[in-house]
Chains A and B, each alone.
Chain A
Amino acid sequence: MSGGAGDSRQRSGPRVAVVLGSGSVKCAAALGLLKVLQREGIGIDMIVGCSGGSLYAALIALGHDAGTAEAMTRRLWTKELTKRRNNRSILSVFLPRVFGFDESFGMVNDALILDRLKEAFGASTFEEARIPLYLTATDFHTGDQVVFGSGRIVDAIRASIAIPYIFRPWPIDGRLLVDGFMSDPMPVGVAIRQGANIIVTMGFESPYQHKINSPLRFAFQLSSITSNNLLKSNFAFHNLAHHAEILPIIPEFKDSIHLFDTDKIPYVIEEGERAAERQVPYLRRLLSGV
């Protein structure tokens, strides 16, 4: 793990940020990007992660290489995560008074995902990260983006991946937090505010439903539509409004990748690597100050 992306806290020259947006399993493509950056000897000065991207942002910032990070996420992210339903929450939809429908609604029992996150990250804190790390979530009551850069990484990831309707919102410091994609699916703005000059960013549109034949699918469709429009609008604004160079890395996938297609992770990483390689010449030019 030496000589990698993690040894760059005091580099001089332009400050390079990696921003990993939301995209569930597709976010594993970040490991392909990491491989390319390491191979090319390009250091990372900060990492920003949102939703699924927060997992990989944290793993990379803590200094795991692509192989270890891949193995860790495949252990962490399995179909069992959604097997255990939260029956009380589901009943509360039908009988809100009896079963107390409230803000902790989430159809999936989240005990397992929390255990898995603890297994992977233990008590690691942002302060221990080798590369400065920022993870984003959304305040459920104000709608504002919330950026974490200190404290326990597990809590910030859990908040950042609180997918509406699936996992219950997560409280931190008296605020109830939901998935970061709801305020900014690809938080380039955080890297800009932290003074990055070159921002390598990876983001994904949320998939649309093939058939909208139930209220739940409708709710998911609605969430994809609003957040995809937000993704495009924010990206357009960030590109235009400031002086950092933003390099989008957009992997292309032949088949659709769903929330728990973790067996496709090796393929996803490969496509991430391919997409990152295409941007290397441009990135090199930017780094040499042209």
Chain B
Amino acid sequence: MLEAPRETSVSSRAPKLGVVIGSGSIKCASAIGLLRVLERERIPVDLLVGCSAGGIYASALALGWDLDALERKSCETWEGLFARLDYRSVLQGLLPGLFRSRGPVGLLDERRLKAALESLYGETAFADARVPLYIVATDLNTGDSVILSEGRLQDAVRASIAIPVLLRPVAINGRLLFDGGASDPLPVSVAIREGCDIILAMGFENPLHERVGSLMSLVSQTTCITINNLLKSTYSFYSAAHHAEIVPIIPTFDRHIGLRDSSLHPYIIERGEEAAAKQLPFLRRLLDPGVRLAGPPDPSDGN
């Protein structure tokens, strides 16, 4: 008979692999290293999730960009972004009364960022992605995490990377959105919800200051302390709570990496590649069709 079986049984289907790139500003470039390993090993990815700057790299893979070109673009983007502060914004931040502050400050030059995102994405939309892509931001008014999966990529990425103080929040569909890191810095939850069996989760802790010498670094320290605790907390919860296999890929760095360190790209990428290579044997084992995956929870077991 030519008729194919109507339904493949759960145990014989290929496991669904999700890649999650968490927030970590310029350190997210480590994802290029992870993507290189996946490309070299010919491991197909079924779903991508990005948070904050992680969204840039998640979208690159979803759009099928060449990784060398991505490295070049990534380096240029970071270099251009943090070279210049928007001084009017700085003054607004310090003297809101005098400069008619319109709420949240954004110290970076908005036009440069807009140009950078325009050159990266143009009118490309989520619908153009070859692999389902989700980008996470945070609702400034409710604090909830917001999962973006429609519309122009440049808008979603702009919302997701709106690092507090540096970039202003942006409105999408009537909600004011900013950095996804404030609600879910490593959004493994999205990959779980979308039914992934294996989740590669690349996450980064925020570096804390050894000394705090300005109001800006105080705000950053205060925010980063809670976000780091949130990262650990959500990660422990997701690991404990469900049946997908989560493979953590945590690059380690032996030096401080600041927002302006775009020249460290090769080093950052290498660390990502190393961290990914370390988990490769485990990942291979999980992908082996002989290994029985836990799969989605059985509705009959009452949980």
Q: Could you tell me which A residues sit within 8 Å of B by CB distance? A: 93-94, 96, 101-103, 105, 138, 140-143, 145, 164-165, 178, 182-184, 208, 212-215, 217-219, 221-230, 233-234, 236-237, 240-241
Contacts and interface: CB of A to CB of B under 8 A. Distances in A.
In order of increasing CB-CB distance, the 9 nearest A-B pairs are: A225-B143, A143-B225, A226-B226, A237-B237, A233-B233, A218-B104, A164-B222, A230-B230, A233-B234
A228 B213 CA distance: 27
A234 B95 CA distance: 37
Contact of B105 (A208, A215, A227): A215
B225 A102 contact: no
A93 B215 contact: yes
B226 A182 contact: yes
Given A183-B225, A241-B236, A226 B182 contact: yes
Contacts of B211: 102-103
Contacts of B222: 164-165, 178, 182, 219, 222-223
A233 B237 contact: yes
A225 B138 contact: yes
B4 interface: no
A161 to B, nearest CB: 15
Interface string B194-233: 0000000000000011111111001101111111111001
B142 interface: yes
A227 B182 CA distance: 9
Contacts of B184: 229
A227 to B, nearest CB: 5
5 contacts: A143-B228, A164-B218, A212-B103, A218-B103, A222-B223
A91 to B, nearest CB: 12
Given A143-B226, A212-B103, A241-B236, 13 more contacts: A103-B212, A143-B228, A165-B222, A183-B226, A212-B104, A214-B103, A218-B105, A218-B164, A222-B222, A225-B143, A226-B223, A233-B230, A233-B233
A165 B218 contact: yes
B24 to A, nearest CB: 16
B173 interface: no
Contacts of A184: 229
B224 A229 contact: no
A225 B183 contact: yes
Contacts of B10: none
B103 A93 contact: no
Contacts of B291: none
A139 B240 CA distance: 27
B54 interface: no
A237 B234 CA distance: 8
Nearest to A225: B143
B226 A227 contact: yes
Contacts of A223: 222-223, 226
Interface in B222-276: 222-230, 233-234, 236-237, 240-241
Contacts of A237: 233, 236-237, 240
A35 B282 CA distance: 54
Nearest to A145: B229
B151 interface: no
Contacts of A145: 229
Contacts of B145: 229
A141 B206 CA distance: 12
Contacts of B96: 214-215
Instruction: Pick the most buried of A105, A138, A183, A215: most chain B CB atoms within 10 A of its CB.
Output: A215
B237 A240 contact: yes
A211 B224 CA distance: 23
B17 to A, nearest CB: 25
B293 interface: no
B87 to A, nearest CB: 15
A187 to B, nearest CB: 11
B149 interface: no
A167 B210 CA distance: 20
Contact of A142 (B143, B208, B236): B208
Nearest to B145: A229
Contacts of B212: 102-103, 105, 140
A173 to B, nearest CB: 18
A228 B104 contact: no
B283 to A, nearest CB: 25
B94 A230 contact: no
A227 B141 CA distance: 14
B101 interface: yes
Contact of A208 (B141, B213, B219, B228): B141
A240 B240 contact: yes
Given A164-B222, A218-B103, A233-B233, A240 B182 contact: no
A213 B176 CA distance: 14
Contacts of B143: 208, 224-225, 228-229
B93 interface: yes
Contacts of A165: 218, 222
A1 B227 CA distance: 42
Contacts of B218: 103, 105, 164-165
Contacts of B94: 93-94
B241 A240 contact: yes
A224 B104 CA distance: 15
